[in-house]
Structure 1
Amino acid sequence: MKVFITGGSGFIGSHLADRLLARGDEVIVIDNFATGRRDNLKAHPKLKIVEDSICNEKLMHQLMQEFKPDLVVHAAASYKDPNNWVEDALTNVMGTAIVCQAMAKANVKRIIYFQTALCYGLKPVEQPVTLNHPILPRGSSYAISKTAAEDYVQLSGLDFVTFRLANAYGPRNISGPLPTFFKRLTTNQKCFVMDTRRDFVYIDDMIDCIMHAVDGKGNGTYHISSGSDVSIKELFDAINKALNMDLVVEVKPRQPDDVFSILLDPSRTENEFGWKAHVPLVEGVSKTIQYYKEHGIEETFTHLKVK
């Protein structure tokens, strides 16, 4: 296959590129390296990397016409600064509109899009969260812009799969609690955990799921979820163990605006794709910590405003 990956030097995009290249597919990546790391992708005869923005409309049309991919995997997203609404709107909304229209003009028919679970709001009204849950993205600029982009994908008339994602973790991940805990623990900074639970999926499991859609399965909206939630304390303990530390962490009660658990219902994905997450948290955390030790963490990011 010929696959065009936007945001291909990021966490999910680079792992997918590796998987595709390993089986002989041809891949083109566009990334502005705002959050993607240059060392996430290694030179490969079937890989072309373009350093630019998906908001470069003329370039996107040119690349789509020249490469003529069988599939676009749209992983590019702005999330570096939760207060930079303009960049979120430009990249996530306008960029997605440009991607879809460039595809239509080049007669590229299928797109895979990644949506945030924050589209259901900071306090989902059901647990586990089903695909019928109301869309309530107003809790963050990231969620608002990613949801508008998802609407454009659906409006486009393209054959699409939208994956609404649980918390992905693994090597190359630089957002969320795991890299934050690692950075604080390895620089002798104080840590605490909130009395909350979240849904974590290891990156290899996530890529296994995405590959079903790459190979043509599915149409519409799906969750990628482990199907179970774990406490943030359990996550911390797994990091503690991987670092050979024996720290006792303070567990703080939730703030009024913190929801106890966010768990996505993966039943449609499991039923239609025959897929299920299987990497245990302790194993996934151990592999991730090993990556951090070898490669370091330059910067970590959050999709939400820091309280």
Structure 2
Amino acid sequence: MKALVTGGAGFIGSHLVDHLVTEGIEVVVVDNLSMGKLTNIKHRNQVKIHIEDVQNQQFMQQLLQTERFDYIYFLAAVASVADSIERPAETHLTNHTAVLSMLEYIRQSKLPLKQFLFTSSAAVYGNLPELPKRENSQVDPLSPYAIDKYATERYVLAYGKLYDLPTVCVRFFNVYGPRQNPSSPYSGVLSILTDCLSQERPFTLYGDGLQTRDFIYISDVIQAIWLITTNQVQQQVFNVANGRELSLMTIIKAYEKIAGRQLKVRSTVSRTGEVKRSVANINKLIKLGYSTQWSLEAGLCQYWKGVQHAGS
């Protein structure tokens, strides 16, 4: 079995690559290293790595033709809402065009495939009042990033149905854990919180801190993806989350307790396009056999231990 992971040197991608290797799958990574690092990949001596951009259609098509992948996991993305607002046309090329180009080449070339998994985002739901968010909930994408993710989902599912391709989409909620880069503008809030606590630097709080999120530890994300792969699910969308709504202030208090430190907080106005409340319904995933292995407290403890170990 052979798998392609685009964005495989990034935070989530590298954890997925490591898992696939342990499952005995031959893995090929494509990553331009704009956010990822080769050192993120634990088993990199067992992985074929191409430092290349997914926008390079000629390269990607040649790779697909040569390698004949069984599984394709499309994680490459410009994953910042703020960046997509600043550079909508440029981020669109990675977040939408690159995926569509790959699907079209697979279709035209009639490449055999067991699964094409596209990673979308909870950002597609926007600020609509219905909670928890179900996969069939109304969507209201508020930023170019969220719009691209939703539009690409629609293409991925339509290609599955129209051309009999084994496609599936996952909507990540707020993923955290080791290998997040806190200095990156794309980084999640927990990564930035961890860095501020560790370095005793002030944390910039946007808004009142009452905005809520559904945080999921990286190991549970990999569990979810692997369940979707092994169940050979097709032409569906899955929320990948914990199913628990927590405010940012609640998170800060819990993390201060775990770290045994008080966070210095600097408050400022809310960010444009930011979602106020977010929590997922994960019943579809549970039906596949998913169960959350990591509570927020356990995940934060593990994350903090790793940071302290790396710093010592």
- Per the shorter chain, which TM-score range? 0.7 to 0.9
Gaps of 5+ in 2: 182-186
The offset of 1:124, in angstroms, is 2.2
1:24 corresponds to 2:27: no
Q: Is the Cα–Cα contact under 8 Å of residues 38 and 44 in structure 2 kept in the other structure?
A: no
CA distance in 2, matches of 1:85, 1:259: 19
| Distance in 1, Cα, partners of 2:112 & 2:257 | 51
* 1:127 Cα offset (Å): 0.6
Query: Alpha-carbon deviation of 1:30?
Result: 0.3
Unaligned runs of 5+ in 1: 297-307
Q: What is the CA distance between 1:46 and its match in structure 2?
A: 3.4
Say which is worse superposed, 170-179 or 9-18, in terms of deviation: 170-179
Q: What's the counterpart of residue 169 of structure 1?
A: 176
- C-alpha change, 1:184 and 1:44, in structure 2 (3 Å) is closer
2:129 maps to which of 114, 125, 128: 125
Greater fraction of residues in helix: 2
In the aligned structure 1, how far is the partner of 2:273 from the partner of 2:139?
Answer: 18
Following superposition of structure 1 onto structure 2, how do residues 95-174 of structure 1 map, counting pairs within 5 Å? 95-104=98-107, 105=109, 106-121=111-126, 123-137=127-141, 139-157=142-160, 158-174=165-181
1:10/1:36 contact within 8 Å kept: yes
Q: 1:253 to 1:228 in 2, by over 3 A?
A: farther
Note closer, same or farther for the CA distance 1:62–1:11 as it changes in structure 2 (3 Å cut): same
Please give the per-residue CA displacement for 1:273-303, whole angstroms capped at 9, x wherever unaligned.
111213111111122233344558xxxxxxx
SS of the residue aligned with 1:156?
helix
Q: Matched residues in 1 for 2:258 and 2:90: separation?
A: 36
How much does 1:23 deviate?
A: 2.2
The alpha-carbon deviation at position 19 of structure 1 amounts to 0.6
Q: 1:241 to 1:150 in 2, by over 3 A?
A: same
RMSD over equivalenced CA pairs, Å = 2.5
Pick from 228, 232, 239 the counterpart of residue 248 of structure 2.
232
> How much identity, in percent, do the aligned residues show?
30
Please give the residue correspondences for 1:39-54 in structure 2 after superposition, counting only pairs within 5 Å: 39-54=39-54
Instruction: Say whether the 8 Å CA contact 2:159–2:167 is kept in structure 1.
Output: no
**Higher relative contact order (CA closer than 8 Å, sequence separation 6+):** 1
Instruction: Call closer, same or farther: CA 1:260–1:77 in 2, change over 3 Å.
Output: closer
Secondary structure of the 2:117 match is strand
**Aligned with residue 196 of structure 2, among 166, 184, 188:** 184
Residue 67 of structure 1: how far off its partner (Å): 1.1
Residue in structure 2 matched with residue 304 of structure 1 by the alignment: none
Distance across 2 between alignment mates of 1:89 and 1:224:
23
Partner of 1:89: 92
Equivalents in 1 of 2:99, 2:120: separation in Å?
12
- For residues 107 and 155 of structure 1, what CA distance do their matches in structure 2 show? 18
CA distance in 2, matches of 1:223, 1:161: 12
Deviation (angstroms), 1:247: 4.7
Q: Deviations over 1:247-284 (max 9, x none)?
A: 5868999899866531111111111x111213111111
Are 1:165 and 1:224, in contact at CA under 8 Å, matched by a contact in 2? yes
Q: Aligned partners of 1:97, 1:254: CA distance in 2, in Å?
A: 33
Preserved CA contact (<8 Å) 1:196 1:254: no
2:223 aligned counterpart, secondary structure = helix
**Structure 1 residue aligned with 2:221:** 206
Q: Distance in 2 between matches of 1:154 and 1:255?
A: 31
How many residues align structurally? 293
CA distance in 2, matches of 1:270, 1:58: 39
